[in-house]
Structure 1
Amino acid sequence: MIGKRNTYRVVDGVRIPGTWRHAFIRNGSHFLTDLVIYADGLVDCWGLVTLDEFEEKVRSGWVATTLPDGARASAHGLATWTFGEPRSRLSPELLVAEVRDSVDRLNGRPDSTGRCLAAVDVFLADRTEENRAAARTAFLAVPASRRRYALGDMDSKDWPLRTLVAGPGGRTYLPADPPVTQEAYDRALAYFEERAGRKAELRVRAAADGPAAPQAPAVHLPHSCPDEPVPDPGRLALRNDYPAPITVGEVSHPSVTHAYWALSVARPEIAAAVSAADTAAAARGIAAGAPRREGWEQARVAVMTRLLHAKFEQHPELADILLATDDATVIYDDVDSAFWGDNGGRGRNWAGRLLELVRSELRVRRGGFSGL
């Protein structure tokens, strides 16, 4: 259900990931709306509720799975209509199960499909009837709407699964299926053996270049910075406005921010005033009303990258602080810029992304990578 339907909400500066799906709210008429599910187990169905409260909303009909013939419905700002011979694929139990699965997936936990496949692996490793019964129970706990996708195989769908857990002579959950023959059961076993081989090859390929996600906790650089150097600045020293002088060409600037804004302006006398400003905030203020150099917007990322290189090359002790962040995602706040700052998930976080890039390049230099 998640797919590309990604969203989030921000709570106390923390981004809570979520996903959404269509649903009908019955408040007199039926309203087609977005049902938003969040990783912390809250669901927005015209108001945030817990999973238990959501289940009650579904069973009461507030979140509708039954669409009466002749009932009025609307989608805000789009259309109104009357149901004629409606058919819903949902039941209260199915919708609640799908939403609970979404919460598991948002948290990186095995959902009902993952738990089913884990039970199948246990049975394949030790083929007792007790383990088969556990695998069958786990399979039937997968929402019926999701079973055909459990193996990720749209050719076979769930045939191998339902055959395996039924066993020779058993019946699957589909009334139209005949009793499972020994031949069909053996084909299902062969399917899972081949699948295990493909999964093993995939794990080797996926692991070749290391993990896809950072292993270290994210580093947050809030929008606060001293105007004077301090003995132990910690990660505040990673901010562009931290007072760490850098020399660019023949000019010394009090900070990366001073250098950035001085290089941005078209007139040399204003650039000199920016560089001489008492604080990073003052430097930005002087530059803000001045004309920019032609093509600045297209060049600014490259300029900032070079300034960051200069900062950490000229201040090895600050490079040590950056390297100590390991492979963490760097979340950089900038109240003046949604381009450079993350700003509670509303910005592009380019300052944080460039710090990660420069960190990687520092590691290459210090690690003695040959041929680069």
Structure 2
Amino acid sequence: MIGRRTTYRVADGIRIPGTWRHAFIRNGDYHLTDLFIYADGLIDCWGLVTLEEFEEKLRSGWVATELPDGARASGFQLAAWKFGEPRSRHTPELLLAEVRDTIDELNGRPDSTDRCLAAVDAFLADRTEEKRAAARAAYLAIPATQRHYALGDMDRKDRPLQVLVAGVGGRMEGRPEEEVTQEAHDEAIAYFEERARWMAERPSRVLADGPAEPVAPAIHLYQSYPLKPSDDPGTKGLRNDYPAPVAVDGVTYPSVAHAYWALSIADAAVGSAITAENSVFEARKLAVGAPLHDGWEHARTAVLTALLRAKYAQHPALARALLATGDATLIYDDSDSAFWGDRGGRGRNWTGRLLELVRSELHAGSAGVLPGAQVAPGY
């Protein structure tokens, strides 16, 4: 299971999602390392390989599932040791099956557990021995290390599932001495019926404050370098360099970008020169290399937040343009900064995130649910 172990690699400018797990690579000694698995079916085991090539790496022992007693092992820059009575949970076949499941999960496809539970549902809807046999085959196709977790019930584990697919008089996997009784089978049926009721109710449990993810598609705020205001700027008006004058503490700046750069500079004369410069390009040149205020990196997000609030409070048309983005994720281009911009998924996109914050504040102010919010008149 992937859990919180998420990563990615970039191929042809596209982010390929992935995850990782521990594994031993046998290259002379045995090396404890990370095995990276990606949604496109490539696996990094000290080199990217296809799933078929990975299977060969398992067969050859390069990705090791057998750990000989007394063999030397190491964790890079961590420790070195020798195996003493080692026990491995895996065989090549088992590890390969788990990796296949991981690739399915990364792609949002049903994995072996999902396929088993679907077969169980089919049996419960039509309780023939043929459907039971299909469910049993699907259960046995789950990697043995994952069967306990198939139901997501750590009290019962997979026992109800084993009883159901074995049937009355059948033998459970791993418990050949235990014959399934009618009572046990009835309990398993009742368990799955109750589970089905609970699963049917779960979609109706809507969070009180709405969806966890945006409903609207993401919007990319591309760099456009506008030179003059427009009657209908659209999303270009959401750029910090858009020529929308911003008044802060008695000083009017030609744009949010001018204000940000001017306020960042420790030398007041340079700050004034930036403020007086009409061109965004020239203002940026004045700011480059000028000494910053002490601790600026700790204050900069608060400063930009205040400037964005001022911009949209003072320009109702631009506030409407911001609100028109709905709840979309705002992806902000910034070729100069991986802190403020998205930079092809490698940046932190703080400008986009702060625009989303100000957008939410505008909504809250309009609805009267955020006391003291700055509301742009007429938006």
Task: Answer whether TM exceeds 0.5 for this pair.
Answer: yes
Contact 1:123/1:132 (<8 A) preserved:
yes
Structure 1 residue aligned with 2:62? 62
Cα deviation digits, residues 67-112 of structure 1 (max 9, x gap): 2334333322233333333221111111111112112222233222
Contact 2:241/2:256 (<8 A) preserved:
yes
* CA apart distance, 1:128: 3.0
Sort the Cα spacing of 1:84 and 1:298 in 2 relative to 1 into closer, same or farther, 3 A: closer
* CA apart distance, 1:364: 4.2
Structure 1 residues 345-354 or 294-303, which shifts more? 294-303
Q: Which secondary structure state, in structure 2, belongs to the residue aligned with residue 26 of structure 1? A: strand
Structure 1 residue aligned with 2:261? 261
Matching of residues 232-271 of structure 1 within 5 Å: 235-271=235-271
Structure 1 residue aligned with 2:106? 106
Structure 1 residues 324-333 or 112-121, which shifts more? 324-333
Sort the Cα spacing of 1:234 and 1:288 in 2 relative to 1 into closer, same or farther, 3 A: same
For residues 82 and 20 of structure 2, the distance between their equivalents in structure 1, rounded to whole angstroms, comes to 25
Structure 1 residues 154-163 or 114-123, which shifts more? 114-123
**Does 2:205 match 1:205?**
yes
Contact 1:15/1:344 (<8 A) preserved:
no
Structure 2 residue aligned with 1:348? 348
Structure 1 residues 178-187 or 231-240, which shifts more? 231-240
Contact 1:227/1:279 (<8 A) preserved:
no
Q: Quick one: which amino acid aligns to residue 74 of structure 2?
A: S
For residues 219 and 119 of structure 2, the distance between their equivalents in structure 1, rounded to whole angstroms, comes to 38
**Does 2:360 match 1:369?**
no
Contact 1:235/1:322 (<8 A) preserved:
yes
For residues 56 and 278 of structure 1, the distance between their equivalents in structure 2, rounded to whole angstroms, comes to 64
* CA apart distance, 1:138: 1.9
Matching of residues 139-158 of structure 1 within 5 Å: 139-158=139-158
For residues 198 and 221 of structure 1, the distance between their equivalents in structure 2, rounded to whole angstroms, comes to 43
Q: Which secondary structure state, in structure 1, belongs to the residue aligned with residue 174 of structure 2? A: coil
For residues 293 and 220 of structure 1, the distance between their equivalents in structure 2, rounded to whole angstroms, comes to 31
Structure 2 residue aligned with 1:214? 214
Sort the Cα spacing of 1:350 and 1:371 in 2 relative to 1 into closer, same or farther, 3 A: closer
Q: Which secondary structure state, in structure 2, belongs to the residue aligned with residue 270 of structure 1? A: helix
* CA apart distance, 1:289: 4.1
Cα deviation digits, residues 126-148 of structure 1 (max 9, x gap): 33333322222222221110110
Structure 2 residue aligned with 1:162? 162
Contact 1:216/1:327 (<8 A) preserved:
yes
Structure 1 residues 355-364 or 15-24, which shifts more? 355-364
Structure 1 residue aligned with 2:29? 29
Structure 1 residues 75-84 or 39-48, which shifts more? 75-84
Sort the Cα spacing of 1:93 and 1:210 in 2 relative to 1 into closer, same or farther, 3 A: farther
* CA apart distance, 1:184: 0.7
Contact 2:245/2:254 (<8 A) preserved:
yes
Matching of residues 311-322 of structure 1 within 5 Å: 311-322=311-322
Unmatched runs of 5 consecutive residues or more in structure 2? 371-379
For residues 214 and 141 of structure 2, the distance between their equivalents in structure 1, rounded to whole angstroms, comes to 33
Structure 2 residue aligned with 1:126? 126
* CA apart distance, 1:313: 4.2
Matching of residues 269-288 of structure 1 within 5 Å: 269-288=269-288
Structure 1 residue aligned with 2:52? 52
Contact 1:266/1:293 (<8 A) preserved:
yes
Q: Give the CA RMSD over aligned residues.
A: 2.8
Structure 2 residue aligned with 1:228? 227
Structure 1 residue aligned with 2:374? none
* CA apart distance, 1:44: 0.7
Contact 2:229/2:242 (<8 A) preserved:
no
Unmatched runs of 5 consecutive residues or more in structure 1? none
Sort the Cα spacing of 1:292 and 1:57 in 2 relative to 1 into closer, same or farther, 3 A: same
Contact 2:229/2:244 (<8 A) preserved:
no
Cα deviation digits, residues 216-268 of structure 1 (max 9, x gap): 3433345x332514867654443322333333344332221111122233454
Q: Quick one: which amino acid aligns to residue 17 of structure 2?
A: P
Sort the Cα spacing of 1:351 and 1:90 in 2 relative to 1 into closer, same or farther, 3 A: same
Q: Quick one: which amino acid aligns to residue 246 of structure 1?
A: V
For residues 177 and 360 of structure 2, the distance between their equivalents in structure 1, rounded to whole angstroms, comes to 56
Q: Which secondary structure state, in structure 1, belongs to the residue aligned with residue 179 of structure 2? A: coil
For residues 254 and 12 of structure 1, the distance between their equivalents in structure 2, rounded to whole angstroms, comes to 39
Contact 2:338/2:348 (<8 A) preserved:
yes
* CA apart distance, 1:333: 3.7
Sort the Cα spacing of 1:18 and 1:273 in 2 relative to 1 into closer, same or farther, 3 A: same
* CA apart distance, 1:38: 1.4
Structure 2 residue aligned with 1:73? 73
For residues 87 and 295 of structure 1, the distance between their equivalents in structure 2, rounded to whole angstroms, comes to 53
For residues 11 and 328 of structure 1, the distance between their equivalents in structure 2, rounded to whole angstroms, comes to 26
Structure 2 residue aligned with 1:329? 329
Q: Which secondary structure state, in structure 2, belongs to the residue aligned with residue 178 of structure 1? A: strand
For residues 104 and 318 of structure 1, the distance between their equivalents in structure 2, rounded to whole angstroms, comes to 44
**Does 2:137 match 1:137?**
yes
* CA apart distance, 1:202: 3.8
For residues 141 and 315 of structure 2, the distance between their equivalents in structure 1, rounded to whole angstroms, comes to 58
Q: TM-score, normalised by structure 2?
A: 0.85
